[in-house]
A and B are shown apart, each in its own frame.
Chain A
Amino acid sequence: MKLLTLNFVSCARKACKSSTSSFPLHPRDAELELVEMEFNPQFLQNMLPKLEWEALQIICNELALPTLPSSTPAASDLFESGGEGSSPAQPTQVARDLHKLLLETTIREGLLVCSNCGHEYAIKEGIANFLLPPHLV
């Protein structure tokens, strides 16, 4: 599972819907893998306003990844400013770093734990198991 996705999943249990502590889910015993993906700065720019930066910081911290800047980059941080008029804006290192973090860093094996209800979702071969036993739906 990409770290991007982890910034959007929440606990599936009905009882956790209204609780703020059901997001983000916390990785445990996570085995990370870098999976290359085509660089798509436009997609990143489109996603910026939707990111929960604080949750991303928490996750990076829990996964012992390098510390992130204190606030979400702005769209203007993703592309070099100015330049020769008509040529398309060149993506910045910030954009490349963000791409690597959100789209290429994946959890291959491990658990995701809800801190509201304690439910553990297993990730195997990158696939997260979100099937709930009927009594928890």
Chain B
Amino acid sequence: MSRPEDILPPDIYYSSTTARKYTTSSRIQHIQAQMAQRALSLLNLTTPSYILDVGCGSGLSGAILSSTPPEAGGPHVWVGMDISADMLSVALERGGEDPDTGNSDDGSEEGEGEEECQGDLFLADAGQGVPFRAGTFDAAISISAVQWLCNAESSIETAEGRLKRFFEGLYAALRRGGRAVCQFYPRDEGQKRMVAQAAIRAGFGAGLLEDGAGTKAVKVYLVCTVGGGDVAGGDITGVVEGMEGVEVDDTRRRVRRGGEKGMQKGSKQWILRKKDRMERKGMVVKATSKYTGRKRKIAF
């Protein structure tokens, strides 16, 4: 299957029909929400934070940030940037029935329980930089967008140049001790490396984490930290502590962490990961419950 970023520039590819189809597909909603949750948990925020969402699209991940309950450190306030005016229009439409009619909750056509977009939206190209003053954001999130930066839109630009401007801008816009998590779809190992290297060159401590490594549905997360401030452990080695399958890749050292092999076969964690992987292959798996992975009493 060809990759959309090879066919068209993002603002054209995410035209209004694609933007709407994208946002109303419950399958896509589900996958994007899962990845946003994962990214949010990797950000490890404990208090309401100011977050940048890069390539925010129609605001699917933003909705998760806004609705994070106080027990989980939220709710957060976010600012989104996206290069597609049509994706941003859909963000404005989502759940945004006229508040005067008071019927925003039921009867909305696009899925149930949708909240109005609460983040501020910028029509902006992340490959041109991040137009905020130094130390603005506590954290940043980017879901399924960074691979688009690897395609230069014109002959005067290069992928490296765009990645450099993005990561340097992001680095400056985050506060000391801040963190960014970018889930993206690298074309191949080379592109994965190019993105991680660009983050490191901009000053980040960066590590790649892969969920479902080796499967077709692998999800790659680039976890970036800005040194100083209150990062646990003070650098990337502290950040990836306790994560599985994290490849720490910074200029200082490289470690490959235990990963799945270290996971107890048959444990709940192992089952969840396997189910996740099968689900992504399109197989039907049983819903996870409190009984998942528990020993059963033998009964006939």
Q: Which residues of A contact B (CB under 8 A)?
A: 1-2, 4-5, 8-12, 14, 23, 37-38, 40, 42-43, 46-47, 50, 52, 103, 106, 125-132, 134, 137
Contact-size category for B: 20 to 34
Which residues of B (73-120) have their CB < 8 Å from a CB of A?
75-77, 79, 81, 83, 85, 88, 92, 118, 120
- Choice from A8, A40, A125, A127 contacting B75 with Cβ under 8 Å: A40
Taking CB atoms, residues of chain B closer than 8 Å to A14 are: 129
Judging by beta carbons under 8 Å apart, are B133 and A10 in contact?
Answer: yes
Q: Is there contact, CB below 8 Å, between B128 and A137?
A: yes
Q: Does B136 contact A (CB under 8 A)?
A: yes
Q: Does B135 make an interface contact (CB < 8 A)?
A: yes
B277 on interface, CB distance cutoff 8 Å: no
Query: Given A42-B47, A137-B165, are A37 and B118 also a contact pair (CB < 8 Å)?
Result: yes
Nearest Cβ in chain A — how far from B87, in angstroms? 11
B120 contact set on A, CB distance < 8 A: 1-2, 5, 106, 126, 128
A43–B129 CA distance with the chains assembled, in angstroms: 26
B83 and A131 form a contact (CB under 8 A)? yes
A136 nearest CB neighbor, chain B only = B128
Query: In residues 2-42 of chain B, which contact A (Cβ within 8 Å)?
Result: none
| In contact, A128 and B122 (Cβ under 8 angstroms) | yes
Complex Cα gap A137–B166 (Å)? 12
**Which residues of B sit under 8 angstroms from A8, Cβ to Cβ?**
79, 132-133, 136
- Neighbour of A42 across the interface among B48, B88, B122, B136, CB < 8 A: B48
